[in-house]
Structure 1
Amino acid sequence: MKLGVFAVLFSNKSFEETLNYLESQDVESIEIGTGGYVGNAHCNPAELLQDQTKLKALKKAVDARNLTISALSCHGNALHPQKEIAARFHQDFKNSVELAEKLEVPVVVTFSGLPGDHEEARHPNWPVAPWPNDFQEVYKWQWEKKVIPYWKEMGRFAADRHVRIALEPHGGFSVHTPATLLKLRQEVGEVIGANFDPSHMWWQGIDPVQAIRILGTENAIYHFHAKDTSIDQVNVHRFGLTDMQPYSVNRAWQFRTVGYGHDMKVWSDIVSALRLAGYDGAVSIEHEDGLMSKEEGLKKAIANLRQVLIKEPLGDMWWV
């Protein structure tokens, strides 16, 4: 496994400055934002696809520091019911896939998206209960008319370019659990896998180790985000796990840097589960800790992950 960082953390710095800083921290891999909600401050696919010189310069800058690119990421909602919004996210995704092919990056990370509840809707609708029965009707319409058809088309688009799609299960989108990821994968094929982020499992009440085992049996983990979540049980009893308060207040749960929501025994269990699932890619730190600066949160995550990452091949079991 390689220690990686989701570089959008330093969107206020130039790409070269970001690479230099990550190299100084002995990071081995980077995940680059290419559009969607995370922006494209370091890498604009529309420009690079039209300019071979810029494309080669980006690759050279990464190679010169002995880094690898684990994924291009364009988290967005290409199923948004407002067509102009959906079109922007859709184009970001297509551009990212085409750029990934050019850069020989194996994975593009994004969200599944979330439609509205009918053709003329203005806002996404996230049904998470089977009753009243209206929710079942919305859920069925979304998957049959929007989610499955779109990803079948985009699955073919990505497969033709030898790129895999890592959808990040995330609350507020159609794919938010291991089951919904596998539901879509069954319809679209193995071009679809997961960008697994344990922080989004914890706040939904899902044990990440068990979720990794479920996805691992299908070889469906294509990328990994290292991010923690702390759970405040007092606020859970008040607001529930679907807490709608802003991130700036004391909520039922908050994103934390690695080791500040769950101890390193839990993180070592996660890493071991990844090894058992056959995952040997990047462990990409996504820093969204509201209690720490970018630099401090990242450095602590790096230090904590170094304790538990499994880096060497297994080799022979000499004691057997």
Structure 2
Amino acid sequence: MKLGVFTVLFSDKSFDDMLNYVAQKGIEAIELGTGGYPGDAHCKLDELLNNEGHLQSFKQKISDHGLMISALSCHANPLHPQKKIAEQADEVLTKTIQLASKLGVPVVNTFSGCPGDHENALYPNWPVSAWPHDFQEVLKWQWEEKLIPYWREKNDFATKHNVKIGLELHGGFSVHTPATMLRLREACGPAIGANLDPSHLWWQGIDPIEAIKILGRENAIHHFHAKDTIMDQPNMNRNGLTDMTDYAQMRDRSWYFRSVGFGHDQKTWADIISTLRLYGYDYVVSIEHEDGLMSIEEGFTKAVETLQPVMVKESIGQMWWT
């Protein structure tokens, strides 16, 4: 396994400075944003797709720093009911898959998206209750008319380009649990899998270790994010899990993101890493930092220090003791 980082953290650094910085920290892999919510500070799609010389120089710089690209990421909502927003997200996703293929990067990360509740809707509608029955009707329409047709086509497109799609299980989007992930994968194809992020599981009340087992049995984990979450029980009692309190009001929220090790201890992260290996994941653990209590540099450094000792670097060849 390799320790990586989602370089959107360092969007204020030049490409060269970012490479120097993360390599000095002992990072082995980088995940690059290509647009959408992460932006494209270090990976310009059109420049790389249309200029072979630039593409080769880009690859060489990464290689010279002893790094690899674990994934290209373009998190957005390609199923947004406003056509202009959806089309822009779809274009970025399509180009990102094409670029990943050219670079030999095996995974593209994004969100499943969330449609509206009918063809003329203006905003996404995320049903989270089984009753009243209106929500079930909305959910059925979204999956049958929007999610499955769109992602079936993208599964086939990615397969032709020898790329897998890692959907981040995130509240507010249609695929947000292991069950919804497997439902979409079954309907659309095996190129669709998870970019599994424990932080979004904890706040939904899902044990990440059990989620790894559920998805790992189906070979459905394509990429992995390392980010932590802390739960504030008094605020949970007041606001519930689906807390709409602004992220900046951390004292009042039911949960908020932390740097790795500051929501759950190192033993928990060791168990997560071990379970990933147990279920066949031997790829990159990509640090994502969205901690409102620490600077980027401090939070990133502490995440590296927490994870490096528990990373499993060498797979066993033979059980010599049996």
TM above 0.5: yes
Residue from 290, 296, 299 that aligns with 2:298: 296
**Structure 1: how far apart are the matches of 2:39 and 2:53?**
22
Consecutive unaligned residues of structure 1, counting only runs of 5 or more, are none
1:54-133 equivalences in 2 (<5 Å): 54-133=54-133
How far apart are 1:173 and its partner, in Å?
0.3
1:172-211 → structure 2 map (5 Å cutoff) = 172-211=172-211
Q: Render the CA deviation track for 1:13-56: whole Å, top value 9, x for unaligned.
A: 11111000001101000000011111111111122111111111
Match of 2:223 in 1: 223
Q: Which amino acid in 1 is paired with 2:177?
A: T
Paired position in structure 2 for 1:283: 285
Residue 316 of structure 1 deviates from its aligned partner by: 2.2
The letter of the residue matching 1:213 is K
Give how far 1:265 is off: 1.2
Aligned equivalents of 1:314, 1:285: Cα separation in 2: 25
1:126-168 deviation digits (Å, cap 9, x = unpaired): 0011100000000000000000000011111111100000111
Matches within 5 A, 1:142-291: 142-249=142-249, 250=251, 251-291=253-293
Deviation, 1:108, is: 0.2
Provide structure 2 residue ranges, at least 5 long, that are not aligned to the other structure. none
| Distance of 1:234 and 1:308 partners within structure 2 | 32
Structure-1 separation of matches of 2:316 and 2:300: 28
User: How much does 1:248 deviate?
Assistant: 1.0
Q: TM-score, normalised by structure 1?
A: 0.99
Report the CA distance between 1:318 and its aligned residue: 2.2
**Equivalents in 1 of 2:119, 2:44: separation in Å?**
31
2:311 aligns to what?
A: 309
- Measure the CA separation in 2 of the matches of 1:97 and 1:315: 34
- What is the DSSP-based 3-state SS (H/G/I as helix, E as strand, rest coil) of the residue aligned with 1:312? coil
How many Å separate the matches in 2 of 1:89 and 1:39? 12
Which residue type is aligned with residue 232 of structure 1? D
- CA offset at residue 313 of structure 1? 1.5
Q: TM-score, normalised by structure 2?
A: 0.98
Q: Which amino acid aligns with 1:277?
A: Y
Residue type at the aligned position of 2:207: D
Question: What SS is found at the alignment partner of 2:285?
Answer: strand
Q: Which residue number in structure 2 is paired with residue 50 of structure 1?
A: 50
Q: For residues 162 and 186 of structure 2, what CA distance do their matches in structure 1 show?
A: 19
Is 246-255 or 105-114 further displaced after alignment?
Answer: 246-255
- 1:10-25 matches, within 5 Å, as 10-25=10-25
Letter in 1 for 2:313: K
CA distance in 2, matches of 1:241, 1:279: 29
- State, as a whole percentage, how many aligned pairs show the same letter: 61
Q: CA separation in 1, counterparts of 2:231 and 2:263?
A: 7
The amino acid across from 1:236 in the alignment is: M
What's the secondary structure of 2:37's corresponding residue? Answer: helix
Across the aligned residues of Structure 1 and Structure 2, the Cα RMSD in angstroms comes to 0.6
